[in-house]
Structure 1
């Protein structure tokens, strides 16, 4: 299934000295800050939710990461992000880090994002504006679920 995913968003990741553990590679915990950087950049570019005070925001309901190959300080890493599914109240965010040295996938993350009303403090349906923006950016139509 991963092979079918098309990534239209990329963000270069600057590795910091404190991302590296005593074994000389990027610590697994650091990847989650990389995922956050890609997610925030994607949301800002596509959903424009950080331009003002939104009522509805996506929040993480579930996150799973696969660590495929080690990354070392000085490697050239890019985080790719896309939405692979849009449901009624949630959508699936796919992310992967690519080592540009050999174009290998070094990690993959799948997050279920639930739309959440900050005012009412409950989950809500994916706003039409989010759905349209994601579909336009991803060049795909996500069927409405009942």
Structure 2
């Protein structure tokens, strides 16, 4: 299942070189990840009520084409791996039909009381057969 979100680059996203700062890429990808979670039925508020939370285990980002003020980008997020306690989301930032950046996020759902990863929830595990 792919989730898509658009975002328009604003002045506060830019660095001194006039293109988007690398930290803003990470934040925009994070916002899109939360949209993906909601789309599959895992709302952040509901997870917190159950004393659970998504955690990032590894994040790897490749920047391939700069984006600048006023550019509108599309973030596409999709699951590429499901393990027993972790899963991997790949996200691509597209501008004018070209990839601007790609990030791979290895994640888990953590029991906030025990501070340990739990088995991948059914809402995510059900996609394993399609990978």
| Structure 2, unaligned runs of 5 or more | none
Q: CA deviation at 1:55?
A: 3.4
User: Does the Cα contact within 8 Å between 2:91 and 2:102 map onto a contact in 1?
Assistant: yes
Q: Report the TM-score when normalising by structure 2.
A: 0.89
Q: Number of matched residues?
A: 129
Q: Report the TM-score when normalising by structure 1.
A: 0.80
Instruction: Give secondary structure in 2 for the equivalent of 1:130.
Output: helix
What is the root-mean-square deviation of aligned Cα atoms in Å? 1.8
Moved more, 64-73 or 123-132: 123-132
- Separation in 2, partners of 1:15, 1:119: 38
> Which residue does 1:125 correspond to in 2?
119
- Separation in 2, partners of 1:34, 1:79: 8
1:109 matched to 2:97: no
> Which residue does 1:27 correspond to in 2?
21
- Separation in 2, partners of 1:121, 1:23: 40
Extract structure 1 runs of 4+ deviating beyond 6 A: none
| Structure 1, unaligned runs of 5 or more | 1-6
> Which residue does 1:3 correspond to in 2?
none
Bigger fraction of residues in strand: 2
- Separation in 1, partners of 2:51, 2:41: 13
- Separation in 2, partners of 1:70, 1:129: 35
Deviations 1:86-105 (A, max 9, x none): 00000001001000x2x000
